[in-house]
Amino acid sequence: MKLVRYGSVGQEKPGVLDSDGRVRDLSAHCDDIGGETLTPRGLEALRKIDISSLPLIDGIAQKDLRLGACVGGVDKFLAIGLNYADHAAESGMDVPTEPVVFTKWTNCIAGPDDDLHLPPGSEASDWEVELGIVIGSRAKNISESDALDHIAGYCLVNDISERDWQLKRGGTWDKGKGYDGFGPIGPWLVTADEIADPRALKMWLEVDGHRYQDGSTATMVFGPAEIVSYCSRFTTLQPGDLITTGTPPGVGMAQKPPAYLRDGQVMRLGIEGLGEQTQRVIGG
């Protein structure tokens, strides 16, 4: 299934894509795409629905029908840094021996095609196409062998980062990662049964038509099972929690000279099987 949240900002409703790529309304069957809906029991209930019998929503998704973030009511948004060896190299950092974990505050979550408003005075806002993991059942101190059973599905994430605040202002990375709008997710949550191998997905990102990132999840240092198991050691993961898993090379910081986001630019990004995003940049 491809689950979506559609409608105006703050008024999103749950939906599902039908075989024609049109949005069907799920409001009669769940309150939102999040929490209990994403548990094994919740997803099994949705799978029993005849999608063609659901109300058809006017408009075409991502054209004249806005999609919001594909998960609602997120409690935790964790992130993994330097999880691609070639990205670590371009950043001048060692490949980690354990996952590098930071947080993206939930206020950063945005729809896949919402405008990106740069923070006031930002001179170093950057892009990062990433695979997002959506948790489907409570996970605490779980093994790698059991971890995939706790994943509801996957989604596309743009881990937007203000590099000056992330790297030059002291403290943790979190400060550069949590601005409003710095975490577009979606367009849809693809349930795990539809992704045969999350470590074999092509991924890319362009700014104004120039392709900066062109990689694959195959080069991740730590895969989804390792990441979920590791994170469950120090926090209890709940249904609807998000983990974004790192980016391949090609970020703006690594260009020579560095290339950062500017007013009027347009980002486009995608991951095989998980859809595409488009964000217009508005200066701070």
The answer to the question of residue 56 being in a domain is no
The answer to the question of residue 34 being in a domain is no
Per-residue pLDDT, 168: 87
**Share above pLDDT 90 across residues of the chain, in percent, rounded to a whole number:** 92
Per-residue pLDDT, 88: 77
CATH code for the domain in which residue 157 is found:
3.90.850.10
CA atoms within 13 A of residue 259's CA, in its CB half-sphere: 16
Question: For 128-156, how does the pLDDT look when each residue is reduced to its tens digit (9 = 90+)?
Answer: 999 999 999 999 999 999 999 999 999 99
The answer to the question of residue 92 being in a domain is yes
Question: Regarding beta strands 109-110 and 266-271, do their DSSP bridges make them parallel or antiparallel, or are they unpaired?
Answer: unpaired
- Domain around 77: 73-282
Per-residue pLDDT, 169: 84
The answer to the question of residue 49 being in a domain is no
Question: For 88-117, how does the pLDDT look when each residue is reduced to its tens digit (9 = 90+)?
Answer: 778 787 888 999 999 999 999 999 999 999
Per-residue pLDDT, 136: 98
Per-residue pLDDT, 59: 97
Per-residue pLDDT, 90: 80
Per-residue pLDDT, 4: 98
Tally of domains in the chain: 1
The answer to the question of residue 193 being in a domain is yes
Per-residue pLDDT, 232: 98
Question: For 158-211, how does the pLDDT look when each residue is reduced to its tens digit (9 = 90+)?
Answer: 999 999 998 888 878 899 999 999 999 999 999 999 999 999 999 999 999 999
The answer to the question of residue 149 being in a domain is yes
CA atoms within 13 A of residue 169's CA, in its CB half-sphere: 12
CA dihedral 44, 45, 46, 52 (to 10 degrees): 120
Q: How far apart are CA 222 and CA 204, in angstroms?
A: 19
The answer to the question of residue 14 being in a domain is no
The answer to the question of residue 22 being in a domain is no
